[in-house]
Amino acid sequence: MASIFQKTLAARKCGPAALFIAVTIGMAAPSFAESKAPVPAQTEAGKLPRIAPDASTFRLANGLDVVVIPDHRAPIVTHMMWYKIGAADDPHGKSGIAHFLEHLMFKGTKAHPAGEFSAKVSEVGGVENAFTTADATSYYQTVAKDQLGMVMGFEADRMQGLQLTDPVVLPERDVILEERRMRTDNNPGAQLSEAMDAALFQNHPYGIPIIGWAHEMAGLTREDAVGQYERYYTPNNAILVVAGDVTADEVKKLAEETYGKLPRRAEPAPRNRPKEPEPLTERNVVLRDQRVSQPSWTQVYLAPSYTSGQRGEAEALDILADVIGSGATSRLYRSLVVEQGLASSAGAYFSGDGLDYGKLGFYATPRGDVSLDKVSAAVDAVLAEVRAHGITAEELALAKKRTRAATIYSQDNQAMLARIFGSAMINGQSLEDVQDWTRRVDAVTLADVAKVAEKYLDKRRSVAGSLLPAPADGRS
């Protein structure tokens, strides 16, 4: 959740830490005009903005949780269905099955042939897509308000009416194998990231790529897909988020008429994932490839998430990452880019949206012929300074100010709101947790930041990655 706020702000600032915004999950805006964003509500204590203060939630009799986020600026709605099943839940030896099923959900049902749902959304001027994360799978559509019932009907139909046969499943398996070749196998940066995750998570399934390992993907079958579908695609394992020109009463009526008719399946087994052992060694991953023209360096530390960490830790890590590497005034950018001239870019991020773990990352691109060793040493010096002496009161205040701005900007886009609430609540956070995120960040103290810096900026918790050009003869 927090990282989505920060990415929104980073993109607004156009700084080097602008990793991605809503387009990361393919959210394109439909052709409906939107007016100026409303001023967010403020809490009585501290006058801090709350995210979507009018949002509410209810549960259908079959166990489907529904979140409604009113936004009456334009007559459009975003409908986003979240399932509590992600790549980290893939059975051992069958990596990629959650993502594979995401693809198969666009095939036909008993009531509608393949492609009809997508064609209908396009026909009414809407957009749709889906995505798989380590912890969830989500399907969304943005359409005119009067088409919400249509979307709900189709989505409810494919929740339990999907028809999967070998002639449907096997060609789609070839599609995802080609997707892997295109996005990962032919991309040195993606290959390095995959190897770093595998090194960081030595026991937890976050170390397995979401798309899967190619040799395991090639063996996925219709039976694997059907088993996954029947176990996890049920109202009592899902959260529906509707954001837009609607009221809770309107959404509840439509939800009961569509999703409410679906039977409740057996409860999925608890998510008992293996834990990471206490890390004892720093790790280093090097990838040399002839396709690389610009060397780059990154380092990732194992960290808690908003769900798994001790109270206040993730908020403090968010502040820490902001001070160290968010924008042109950050410590990394000032030191490496402005003062020493060692890098053309440098930054940091905290990703705390996971169910089990988060990641605290730092990155830099060397300038000219500067070596990665020199860049790495310069980053280490910045981190050592923060770990030894903490941050300043001024830095803390500015980071909190940027957090408030990010909260306001996040409400510019209803699809972003649906993503924020869905990604947090699917992992166990409450509606109030999301709404009061700014308040929790504002409560972070200098001592809190110093504590997490000391605890988590331990190189034994880290994996460093170097991406380098390979000599023409291919030798290391």
- State how far the Cα of 91 lies from the Cα of 77, in Å rounded to an integer: 35
Partner residues linked to 437 by β-bridges:
none
Sort strands 238-244 and 65-70 into parallel, antiparallel or unpaired: parallel
Give burial (CB, 10 Å; 0-12/13-18/19+) of 91: exposed
- State how far the Cα of 383 lies from the Cα of 335, in Å rounded to an integer: 11
Partner residues linked to 67 by β-bridges:
57, 241
- State how far the Cα of 95 lies from the Cα of 98, in Å rounded to an integer: 8
Q: In sequence order, what are the residues at sequence separation of 6 or more whose Cβ sits closer than 8 angstroms to the Cβ of residue 269?
A: none
HEC string of 364-403 equals: EEECCCCCHHHHHHHHHHHHHHHHHHCCCHHHHHHHHHHH
CA distances from 214 to 18, 81, 98, 262 (A): 30, 28, 14, 35
Catalytic site includes residue 102: yes
Catalytic residue, from 44, 102, 216, 395: name it. Answer: 102
Q: In sequence order, what are the residues at sequence separation of 6 or more whose Cβ sits closer than 8 angstroms to the Cβ of residue 169?
A: 104, 221, 222, 225
Tell me, what amino acid is at 190? A
Catalytic sites, residue numbers: 102
